[in-house]
Chain A
Amino acid sequence: MLEMRGITKRFPGVVANEGVDFTVRSGRVHTLLGENGAGKSTLMKILFGLYRPDEGSVHLEGTEVEIRSPADAISRGIGMIHQHFMLVPTLTVAENVALGLGGAWGSSDLRPIRQRLVEVSERYGLEVDPDAFIWQLAVGERQRVEILKALFRNARILVLDEPTAVLTPPEVTDLFTTLRQLRDDGRGLVFISHKLHEVMEISDEITVLRDGRIVGNTVPESSSRESLAQMMVGRPVLFTRTVQHHDPGEDRLVVRDLVVQGDRGNLAVDKVSLSVRAGEILGVAGVSGNGQRELAEAIFGLRPVESGGIDIDGVPAGSLAPKAVRSKGMAYVPEERMRDGVIGEFTVAENLVLVDHGSPPYTRWGFLRFGAIKRQCTKLVQRYSVKTPMLETLTRSLSGGNIQKVVIAREFSCGAEVLVVSQPTRGIDVGAAEYVHEQLLGQRAAGAAILLISEDLDEVLQMSDRVAVIFRGQIMDQLPRSEATAMRVGRLMMGLKAE
């Protein structure tokens, strides 16, 4: 039903798409697979009328069309579910669906909409209360509203941009049920993801993009996670990491009944107790916004502790400033790496010494010693495989994966033995993520106590010795690795206690 032929799109200095052919067929789920920056988004933005292709053409039901704008795309039956939802939080579900419908729907009478909404949602298993306000809904429910919006506009072709990134495993299962129904209904679906097991599960055909070009067209039956990853990255990728079992040592970081306020004075962390031992990774799983950030910041002295305690090596550290916490041998990889992890306008070298710049050998008599800094940074850049043209390159011009390597290099090389690591691989490419994981395991083997906070459940399950699940600021349960299955942890992430 839709065909994109020979699409080429160039940006100053970069070819985002080069001669890409992409077809969406009725009743099929076509997966677009690729790393960040491979050109998936560009291709879909062309489809949705946000960009114009430099070369190539788009054909809809056999006739060449020119899609000028998102409105144009919608009127031609193309719907897009963005990664970041486009909903008005203060309006109800029905109102959000009615927004922008225009025509007869534009009248203030919401009753016909409500009625159709109920019909459509029952038909596709998209259960949602039409009168609920968006802000009251969970992430999974909001996504359903987005899909309903597209269906209301008679979308024949649905593009879903990383729809599972924000969902828990049970929610993913629900989503896939809906997607299958939509497919069987004769709609054409484009599924964008880099989670390979999901891709294997839902796809009818798979197109792999790398550096703007198609490197493979395949079907799940004749491919494996390994073969897909190799196509995506361009070299073999290690999946099943054999995590050496070894007995952890003593408690290094202990959190007792910690209570912390959020930015709006809400109760963000509610009586959390955790302990991390030397040589151990404690994973904290949870859906975004359940108190993970506040927990990490409180541990690191960046956020005041309301009550409860934090001990590092048995010494209370709950009221220390970040500098003092660091001097106790703690390091922190923050989740917002561009905002909190590095200074974009600083050079790679400056960011590598951001913490230690004031102490010998980098400073003498108050003056920076550029020779010593350069020597150390050259070493770090090599050891941590940071790909940068020069040490003097501004950090903001590096890719996300390389920026994360800069942060990791700095935090892991300062001799810290208690590490708080938040979302270490969010938004970075598979190769860099793999590298970050290796480094984490290396630190674990060297005896570091690591608190790994991540919204990526696969990551938590793969890396951790023990898994704690956080929901609305509370630790729902803590499980040893052997008992932490995706489904069990997923239920806990949704606040469902084990029965």
Chain B
Amino acid sequence: MVTTENPDTSGAPSLKALWYGPLVGLVVPVLAVVAALAVGAVLLLALGASPLTGYAALIDGAVGDWNAVADTAIKSMPMLLVGVGICIAFRTGVINIGGEGQIILGAIFATLVALAVPDLPSVFLIPLVLLAGAVGGAIWGAIPGALKAYAGVSEILSTIMMNIVAAQILSFLLQDLLIEEGAIKIQQTRRLSHNADLPLLPGGTRLHLGFLVALLVAVIAYLLIYKTSLGFRLRAVGHSPDASRYAGMQVKRSVVQALALSGACAGVAGAVMVFGSISHRLIGEGGATAFTQGAGFNGIVVALFGGLHPLYTVPASFLFGGMLIGGIELQRELQVPAALIVALNGVVVVFVVSSLRLKTKLQRWSEDAVLRRGRK
């Protein structure tokens, strides 16, 4: 181990490590899904249905035609946005279970802006409502962040609590203040300004601008985490708060920043879900989860599935969105109980999450193997 020579920077063996890592990162989740589908096949067989027909229906429902693809994309969008936020938080070593609440606050802020300045031209109003959504989500993320940093409150607990508070705020606002005026009291706003409608993308499907926004946010998050000095600090704090503090970083501030950024991503999802919806209203009917469609929680699974990397989270969200959309078709085709789809999704989650451990193990192993070869 004693040396005075120059560093050995021959790249050959290490290049292998560079592609091997991501390869494992890609193969293991796919295997997890295959394994989950295999278990699902057993469930289908137990119900007397043909797994082959079932999965054909699932694929058909998810990506059978362009409309199906668009539906899958629309379903994936909020999960992707929340998932990207989860990536940022996780890289900083904080866990954000508050996606639901952050979506709702984002939606409320965006709605308020649209109600306040409905006549602004679309070019200004659309970015403005998206920004308002981000701000709402960021505030809802920063509060647990500050509680964790300065009062030592577990962010896991506080973000969950904040979900409930957000749901109550939504319900409260739609009872009275924001409710559409009319004879029938439905918990929803009036149709919001047309200028804020997210325009449909060409192709004749329901797919709208929100899709591009989600992709853009994923790319921005990627750049932020890996290419900026802010991201450097967040990652440093995530790996080792001690070493970061010794190096002169402000660890507490980083924690607040991470949860605020994480919340901002979910907040954008909230805005997109209001202005990209068919009704173009903020709807509270059926409870908060009816509005968020559980994206705040599913986003966590999607992020884990994507290896907590913002770019890998894109395909991961599609896969999961496809499962949800295709599952509807499967259920219709085979006439199996709806609970089966829930179970199937659950199985996927279990397999994906447990595959993470295997993945890290494999990556570590390959890394070490390459390293040893490099040393010889």
A contact residues vs B (CB 8 Å cutoff): 12-14, 35, 37, 233-235, 300, 302, 321-323, 325-326, 332, 334, 336, 339-346, 350, 354-355, 357-358, 362-363, 366-368, 378, 381-382, 385-394, 397, 399, 401-402, 429-432
Contact B229 A339 (CB under 8 A): no
B357 located at the interface, meaning its Cβ lies under 8 Å from any Cβ of chain A in the complex: no
Contact B369 A341 (CB under 8 A): no
Inter-chain CA distance A388–B10, complex, in Å, is 11
The count of A-to-B residue pairs whose CB atoms sit within 8 angstroms is: 127
Inter-chain CA distance A336–B242, complex, in Å, is 10
B8 located at the interface, meaning its Cβ lies under 8 Å from any Cβ of chain A in the complex: yes
For B9, what are the chain A residues with a Cβ–Cβ distance below 8 Å?
389-391
Contact A13 B1 (CB under 8 A): no
Contact A339 B240 (CB under 8 A): yes
Contact B11 A13 (CB under 8 A): no
Secondary structure of the A contact surface, majority rule: loop
Q: What residue in chain A is nearest B237 (Cβ atoms)?
A: A343
Which listed residue, B7, B10, B371, touches A387 by the CB 8 Å rule?
B7
**Shortest CB–CB separation between residue B227 and chain A, in angstroms?**
6
Contact A342 B233 (CB under 8 A): no
B contact residues vs A (CB 8 Å cutoff): 1-11, 13-14, 18, 227-230, 232-233, 235-236, 239-240, 242-250, 367-369, 371-372, 374-375
Contact A389 B374 (CB under 8 A): yes
Counting chain A CB atoms within 10 Å of each CB, the highest count among B246, B249, B250 belongs to B246
Which listed residue, A35, A233, A368, A394, touches B367 by the CB 8 Å rule?
A394
Contact B243 A343 (CB under 8 A): yes
Contact B371 A341 (CB under 8 A): no
Q: What residue in chain B is nearest A354 (Cβ atoms)?
A: B247
The 9 A-B pairs of least Cβ separation, nearest first, read A431-B2, A13-B372, A323-B248, A389-B374, A363-B229, A354-B247, A358-B229, A343-B240, A387-B3
Contact B14 A389 (CB under 8 A): yes
For A326, what are the chain B residues with a Cβ–Cβ distance below 8 Å?
248
Q: What residue in chain B is nearest A337 (Cβ atoms)?
A: B243
Interchain Cβ contacts under 8 Å between A and B, 25 examples: A12-B368, A14-B372, A35-B1, A339-B242, A343-B244, A346-B236, A350-B232, A354-B247, A357-B233, A358-B229, A366-B228, A368-B227, A378-B7, A385-B4, A385-B5, A387-B8, A389-B10, A390-B14, A392-B18, A393-B14, A394-B367, A397-B367, A397-B368, A401-B1, A429-B1
**Shortest CB–CB separation between residue B369 and chain A, in angstroms?**
7
Secondary structure of the B contact surface, majority rule: helix
**Shortest CB–CB separation between residue A231 and chain B, in angstroms?**
13
For A334, what are the chain B residues with a Cβ–Cβ distance below 8 Å?
246
Given known contacts A235-B2, A334-B246, A389 and B371 CB-to-CB distance under 8 angstroms: yes
For A321, what are the chain B residues with a Cβ–Cβ distance below 8 Å?
248, 250
Contact A340 B1 (CB under 8 A): no
For A336, what are the chain B residues with a Cβ–Cβ distance below 8 Å?
242
**Shortest CB–CB separation between residue B237 and chain A, in angstroms?**
9
For B244, what are the chain A residues with a Cβ–Cβ distance below 8 Å?
343, 354
Which listed residue, A342, A393, A402, touches B1 by the CB 8 Å rule?
A402
Contact A368 B7 (CB under 8 A): no
For A394, what are the chain B residues with a Cβ–Cβ distance below 8 Å?
367
- With A12-B372, A235-B2, A339-B240 already in contact, 20 other A-B pairs whose C-beta atoms are closer than 8 Å: A14-B372, A233-B2, A322-B245, A344-B240, A354-B236, A358-B232, A367-B228, A368-B227, A385-B3, A387-B7, A389-B9, A389-B10, A389-B371, A389-B375, A392-B18, A393-B371, A402-B1, A429-B2, A431-B2, A431-B3
Given known contacts A234-B2, A354-B236, A402-B1, A322 and B246 CB-to-CB distance under 8 angstroms: yes
